[in-house]
Amino acid sequence: MKIRHIDTVLIDSPGRKWTIVRVHTDEGLVGLGEATYSQKEPVVVSAIDHMKQELIGEDPSRIEYLWHKIYRRSSQSGIWRMTGPVWMSALSGIDQALWDLKGKAAGLPVVELLGGRFRDQVRVYTHFSGRTPEESAASAKHWVDQGYRYVKSGLQSKANYGFDPYLEDGWPEETAAHYVAAREAVGPDVGLLVDCHGRFTVGAAVRLARALEPCGMFCFEDPVAPDDLNAYQKVRRETSIPIMGSERLNTKTQFRQLLELDGIDIAQPDLVYAGGITEVKKIAAIADTYHVPISFHNTKGPVGTLAAAHLLASIPNEAPMEFVTGIEWRDEILTEPIEVVDGCLVVPDRPGLGIELNEEGVEAHRWNPGDPF
């Protein structure tokens, strides 16, 4: 079997354009992957168009070799190692599609190719929100009533994202009020997560963490930007809330450095941003040597979601992964819907990633260059 062609399909989802990669073979099999990188999807498509020049005519089963061919050799001199988020997202989409192809050719789910099932389902968390603590409490309880045992929200402020973390103008207390209300609504056994989006100074992050500690938080996500990995350990040693990070890192080397610094309690790679199944499986193994579980950042479409689920189902160090709800038409682009039961995503036992596109649904939701972004 040889790679004949690689193309992309962009789906017009809210806030992002799901970038689905298709690797076509001369035997008619097509592998699917996802390369969605928020608001930069057309640039990622251009990177994929560049990468495919290296892959046409290659044997798609040589996944590790092809991964390194792209990572190390996509320049005439062959000396560059391209690790930026756009490049790694493009590589990730191709990598997932190669794993999908390998599973389809073998007649096996990808999870079986990764060592077999450690579990049949993976825990997921979804998101709650509200303009007031009462609204946040009602939103959190709604999702718990739907079966989710973990729910996450962001920071709350009357100024929304307009507040200045350097000024610390009352937003920690505002955020804590939402979580106090949510905790009262969902009870003591539901995991509450807060996403800081890497926005804060160490001092501001510590102040927020201390305001949230009485709420019995499951984790404190990305309190500081990953530009300075040392900042994570500074926050971690000042709070009892487990620190999770970081979706913005792109390689196993960056995660190893963060783990060496004792900066996190939960590792949060994004399968799309960090090089796909091939690279993130290694990140999970490194994290396991530090007794650190993996919780995938996952704000992507259904292809990336299932790729992450297959990998998470195969490793021992699993923590709940992110799952976006509220896109009611998502399953219209699929021949089989994603199945979530009692807050767990069921890993399909169909070959490959267990996902195929419904072309009629794809055409109904396709985004084309030139359309409003």
Q: If you write DSSP's letter for every residue of 294-362 in order, what string do you get?
A: B--B--S-HHHHHHHHHHHHH-SSB-PEE-----TTGGGGBSS---EETTEEEPP-SSBTS--B-HHHH
Residues 267 and 155 in one domain: yes
Residues 175 and 303 in one domain: yes
In a domain, 353, yes or no: no
In a domain, 372, yes or no: no
Q: Which residue has the tokens 């979804």?
A: 126
Residues 64 and 118 in one domain: no
Q: Is 161 a catalytic residue?
A: yes
pLDDT for res 155: 82
In a domain, 254, yes or no: yes
**Rounded distance between C-alpha atoms, residue 299 and residue 272, angstroms:** 10
Residue 220 DSSP SS3: strand
**Rounded distance between C-alpha atoms, residue 99 and residue 67, angstroms:** 11
Q: From first to last of its 373 residues, what are the pLDDT tens digits of the chain? A: 999 999 999 999 988 899 999 999 999 999 999 999 988 898 999 999 999 999 999 999 999 999 999 998 654 445 556 678 899 999 999 999 999 999 999 999 999 999 999 999 999 999 999 999 999 999 999 999 999 999 999 887 665 555 566 665 667 888 999 999 999 999 999 999 999 988 888 998 999 999 999 999 999 999 999 989 999 999 999 999 999 999 999 999 999 999 999 999 999 999 999 999 999 999 999 999 999 999 999 999 999 999 999 999 999 999 999 999 989 999 999 999 999 999 999 999 999 999 999 999 999 999 887 777 6
The catalytic residue among 161, 179, 232, 297 is: 161
Residues 329 and 181 in one domain: yes
In a domain, 294, yes or no: yes
CATH number at residue 12: 3.30.390.10
pLDDT for res 164: 64
Domain count, the chain: 2
The catalytic residue among 5, 65, 150, 197 is: 197
Residues 96 and 226 in one domain: no
Residue 258 DSSP SS3: helix
Which helix or strand (DSSP H or E) is residue 24 part of?
Answer: strand 16-25
In a domain, 354, yes or no: no
Residues 61 and 99 in one domain: yes
Question: What's 147's DSSP letter?
Answer: T
**Domain membership of residue 21 as a residue range:** 3-108+359-365
In a domain, 351, yes or no: no
CB 10 within 8 A of CB 45: yes
pLDDT for res 77: 45
pTM: 0.94
Q: Is 197 a catalytic residue?
A: yes
Residues 117 and 194 in one domain: yes
CATH number at residue 273: 3.20.20.120
Residues 181 and 325 in one domain: yes
Residues 13 and 101 in one domain: yes
Residues 247 and 171 in one domain: yes
DSSP 264-276: -SEE--BTTTTTH
Residues 134 and 244 in one domain: yes
The conformational region for residue 197 under phi > 0 = left, psi -120 to 50 = alpha, else beta, is left
Q: Which residues contact 296 (CB under 8 A, 6 or more apart)?
A: 268, 269, 270, 271, 308, 311, 312, 321, 322
Residues 145 and 80 in one domain: no
pLDDT for res 200: 87
In a domain, 293, yes or no: yes
In a domain, 31, yes or no: yes
pLDDT for res 171: 77
